[in-house]
Structures are given as C-alpha cells and as structure tokens.
C-alpha cells in the first residue's frame, strides 16, 4: 500500500523532537508541506534543516517552516497559527502532539500548577488548535486531526493523575470532533502512547547505559517485550493522516506494544 500526502499541509506541535519530528519526517517523505512548532529554537532550527534536506530529496515543492511557541499559552497559539496559515495556507492535517511529562506524586502532593500546566498544554491547546484550523477544514471539506495522548487516558495509573485526566479529556474531545467534523469530512483520531524512546527518555536518563537499562526494564512489562520507537508511532499517524484511512474517525488507538489493560 502506498500512502501519499502529496500537496497536503500539516501543522505538528512538538515537531522538533520524538514523535513530532518522526511524523514530520514521514509526512515530508509522503509529499506534505509541514509546519513544526515547539518552544526551543535550537532544536527547531536543527529539525527544520533536516526536514528541508529530506524534502529536497523527495518532493521539491514541499515547504518546511518552524515557529517557536509555547502551546500552553493561548496568545502564542493564535499568533503562531496565523504565521503558519500565512506560510502554508489552509491546514489539512493538524497533529496536536506537544507535551512533556511532569513529576507525579499522590493526590495531596501534586502541586496545583501541575494540574494547570497539564490541562492547558495537553487538553486546552488541542482544542484551541483544532478550533483555529476548523473553519478552513470545514470550508474545504477535508481535514484530519491527530491527537497524541497516553494509554493512561483509558486506564489511569498511580502517580500520574494530572496527565491521565488531561489525556482522558483529549479522548472525549476526539470523539466530539469526530461527530461534529464527520459531516464536513473532518476526521479526528487519538494515538495513545504507552512507552516510546524519545527526547523525553533522554532527558530522564542522560547517561546512555542507564537509559538502556531503564528501557530494558520497562520492556519487561510490555507484552511485545520492548519500548517502542517514534517511527512506529509515525507510521500509524501517516496512515491515519492519509486518504487510505478515509473511513476511520473517532478512535483512540493504543500505540503501546500491548501494555494497556483496556482495548
């Protein structure tokens, strides 16, 4: 099966690393123009240079743009979306993917700020970017919204309450967008991660030997016996973004090697 995104435009939040960058690479290989958004300028510049090189070797007409933005700040979301819209035109594929893990703890020990940050970054931002892209998608009768989440949305786990609640909200949002978007050929799906080796992992375990040991230990609790890769995530995302997935909407698909206790 050949998956093409030729001529499509994509906005990927958290596109400078991990799953976001893996999606950007695969989208560019498939012919799309992409806008990547994240806070850190250095990683954005690096990712943009790599993606431009990739585009030059594949589809020369594909554009790559990068903008710095904290998706947890409403004014930055709106201003960044305006720049992306100006650079690429209407967005066909929105990937709400930015986020980071925060220290957990028991309910009484979780700082209130963690609740606010997780809800704003991992739920409200998804809603807001979808709203910003919505009118164009509706007018053009085509749109795909891919919401990155976590399997804790389906099965909450200890010490991860704010992120689980935020991710559960994204699942409900995804379903709502699928209902409201369906009549306008706007599809919305969520991709729920278990454990993937990304920038997040490198930040938690900067030492390579320690990282490998920790990943191997995590893998022991995963039915497929290992932590996944951002590329495995991006393969599903690229399929869902394409017309090959034209009848798939309103789903929350686990990308977790079988870890989630819930289907």
Residues that bind ligand NAP (CB under 6 A): 13-14, 16-20, 38-40, 43, 69-72, 97-101, 121, 148, 150, 193, 195-196, 198-200, 230
Nearer of residues 115 and 138 to ligand NAP, judged by Cβ:
115
Minimum distance from residue 14 beta carbon to ligand NAP (Å) = 3
* Least distance in angstroms from the C-beta of 196 to ligand NAP: 4
Taking the least distance from each CB to ligand NAP, the nearer of 62 and 69 is 69
> What is the distance between the terminal CA atoms of the chain, rounded to a whole angstrom?
26
- For residue 7, the minimal CB distance to ligand NAP (Å) is 25
CA distance 225 to 210: 18
**Shortest separation between residue 114's beta carbon and ligand NAP, angstroms:** 13
**CB-based contacts of 143, cutoff 8 Å, min separation 6:** 91, 92, 93, 94, 133, 134, 136, 137, 181, 184, 185, 186, 187
Q: Please give the residue whose beta carbon sits closest to ligand NAP in the complex.
A: 18
- CB count in 10 Å sphere of residue 139: 11
210 or 243: whose CB is closer to ligand NAP?
210
Instruction: Give the residue among 104, 83, 98 at the shortest CA–CA distance from 148.
Output: 98
- Taking each helix axis as running N to C, give the angle between helix 161-181 and helix 125-140, from 0 to 180 degrees, rounded to the nearest 10: 10
Identity of the residue, 156 or 199, whose beta carbon is nearer to ligand NAP in the bound complex: 199
Q: Which is nearer to ligand NAP, 121 or 189 (CB)?
A: 121
| Segment (H or E) for 137 | helix 125-140
Closest separation in Å from C-beta 90 to ligand NAP: 22
Q: What angle do CA 59, 10, 170 make, to 5 degrees?
A: 150
């Amino acid at each position: 099966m050949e998956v093409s995104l030729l001529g499509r435009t994509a906005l990927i939040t958290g596109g400078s690393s991990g799953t976001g960058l893996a999606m950007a690479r695969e989208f560019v290989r498939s012919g799309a123009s992409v806008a990547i958004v994240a806070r850190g300028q250095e990683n954005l510049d690096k990712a943009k240079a790599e993606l431009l090189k990739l585009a030059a070797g594949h589809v020369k007409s594909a554009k790559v743009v990068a903008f710095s933005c904290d998706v947890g700040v409403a004014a930055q979301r709106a201003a960044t979306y305006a720049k992306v819209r100006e650079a690429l035109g209407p967005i066909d594929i929105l990937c709400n993917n930015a986020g980071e893990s925060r220290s957990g703890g028991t309910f009484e020990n979780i700082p209130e700020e963690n609740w606010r940050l997780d809800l704003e970054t991992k739920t409200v931002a998804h809603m807001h970017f979808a709203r910003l892209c919505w009118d164009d998608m509706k007018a053009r009768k085509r749109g795909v919204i891919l919401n990155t989440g976590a399997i804790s949305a389906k099965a909450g786990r200890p010490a991860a309450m704010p992120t689980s609640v935020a991710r559960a909200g994204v699942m409900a949002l995804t379903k709502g967008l699928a209902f409201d978007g369906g009549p306008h050929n706007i599809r919305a799906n969520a991709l729920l991660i278990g454990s993937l080796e990304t920038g997040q992992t490198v930040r938690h375990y900067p030492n390579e030997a320690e990282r490998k040991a920790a990943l191997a230990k995590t893998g022991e609790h995963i039915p497929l016996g290992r932590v996944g890769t951002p590329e495995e995530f991006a393969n599903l995302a690229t399929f869902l973004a394409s017309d090959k997935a034209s009848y798939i909407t309103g789903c929350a698909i686990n990308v977790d090697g079988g870890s989630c206790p819930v289907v």
